[in-house]
Structure 1
Amino acid sequence: MKMLVIYTHPNHESLSYAFLQTVIDGSKENPDITEFKVLDLYEEKFDPVLVFNDTKRRRDMHADPRLETYREQIVWADKIVFVYPIWWGRPPAMLLGYIDQMFSSGFAYKDKGGLLPEGLLKGKSVVCISTMKGPTFYPLFWLNNAHKVLMKKALFQYVGIKKVKFFEFGNMESPKGRHAKKLNKIFQYFKTIAH
């Protein structure tokens, strides 16, 4: 199994970065994970800003040469892991900018003229690891599960990815957040995960 880890947090001393390192450590002990790559969007200085004009059209985004390396990473991966905080009930703008550009028509899906498109990323699986200041139940009860609906239904299922696993960790700015236990849960998951 080949795994792409997409990390989205500007601080390498953050708890999100600790989760990234735990994903890496667990993956190194998993014989089923033959290769993995890490894409740190902030370190990469990925440009999340969309620009459309007379010479740069949205319909051509799937062939933008500036994004070719990132497309190759997605094609290469069997499993895509996203590590990010939840800010204002949704992923950071940097990650959403990446999604807007990478999961484009002609690359991630193809319109067929009907209600739903043909997903072009079938067979891949996704894991989303997110942290938040509020309690774990906050997105479910206060925001009608908007984060999971956005990621799973509006994005991944739309492009043909049906297998999606979520780890949403709340109370992460509290000393009672049980950080070590949550980090160990991620370590054990990636140590034993199969495609």
Structure 2
Amino acid sequence: MKLLVIYTHPNHESLNFGFLNKVLAGSRENPDIEEVQVVDLYEENFNPLLVFGGEKRRRDMHRDPAFERYRQQLVRADKLVFIYPIWWGRPPAMLLGYIDQLFASGFAYKEEGGLLPEGLLKGKSAVCISTMKGPAKYPLFFLNNAHKALMKKAVLRFVGIKKVKFFEFGNMESASGNQDKKLAEVYRYFKKLER
């Protein structure tokens, strides 16, 4: 199994970076995981801005040479792992910019003339590990699960990825947030993960 980890947090001393390290540690101890690639969007200075004009058209994004390395990483991976904070009820703009530019028509999906397009990333699965300052149930009760609906239905299912596991951790800036327990949970999950 090949993993592609898309890490989206600007601080390498953050709890999110701790989750990244637990994903890597668990994966190293899992004999079913043969490869892990990490894309650190902030470290790589990924440009999340969509820019279109006369020479750069949206319908050509699937061929943009600036994103060829990222497209090859997505093709190679069996499982995508997203690690990010939830800000304003959604993932950071940096991650959404990555999705905007990489999950392009002609690469991640194709129009077939029906109600929905055909997802071209089918056969892959995904794990979303997210942290937030607020209570764990806040997105469910106050935002109608907007974050999960965005990631699972609007993004991943649209491109053919149907199997999605969520670790949505709340109270992460609280002394009583059980951070060590949650870090250990993620480590154990990747240590035992099967395709």
Bin of the TM-score, shorter chain as denominator length: over 0.9
Give unpaired runs (5+ residues) of structure 1: none
Query: Counterparts of 2:137 and 2:159 in 1: how far apart (Å)?
Result: 28
1:72 match: 72
CA distance in 2: counterparts of 1:175 and 1:22, whole angstroms: 20
AA of the residue aligned to 1:23? V
Alignment of 1:1-195 (within 5 A): 1-195=1-195
Residues 111-155 of structure 1: CA deviation (Å, up to 9, x unaligned): 011110011001000000000000100000000000000000001
Structure 2 residue matching 1:157: 3-state secondary structure: helix
Q: The residue matched to 2:159 in structure 1 has which SS?
A: coil
CA distance in 1, matches of 2:118, 2:38: 28
Other structure's SS at 1:130 match = strand
CA distance in 1, matches of 2:42, 2:118: 31
Partner-residue secondary structure (3-state), 1:142: helix
Query: Aligned AA for 1:97?
Result: G
Percent identical pairs in the alignment equals 72
- Structure 1: which amino acid aligns with 2:151? M
3-state SS in 1 of match to 2:18 = helix
Structure 2 counterpart SS, 1:84: strand
Give the letter aligned to residue 94 of structure 2: M
Query: Which amino acid in 2 is paired with 1:165?
Result: K
Residue by residue, what CA displacement relative to the aligned partner does 1:20-61 show, whole Å, maximum 9, x if unpaired? 000000000000000111110000110000001011000000
Runs of 4+ in 1 over 6 A off after TM superposition: none
- Number of corresponding residues: 195
Once residues 70 and 129 of structure 1 are traced to their aligned partners in structure 2, the CA distance between those partners, rounded to angstroms, is: 20
What is the TM-score normalised by the length of structure 2? 0.99
Instruction: Provide the alpha-carbon RMSD of the alignment.
Output: 0.4
For structure 2, the residue ranges without an aligned partner over 5 or more in a row are none
CA deviation vs aligned residue, 1:94-114 (integer Å, no higher than 9, x gap): 000000000000000000111
CA distance in 2, matches of 1:129, 1:3: 14
SS in 2 for 1:156: helix
**Separation of aligned partners in 2, 1:88 and 1:174:** 18
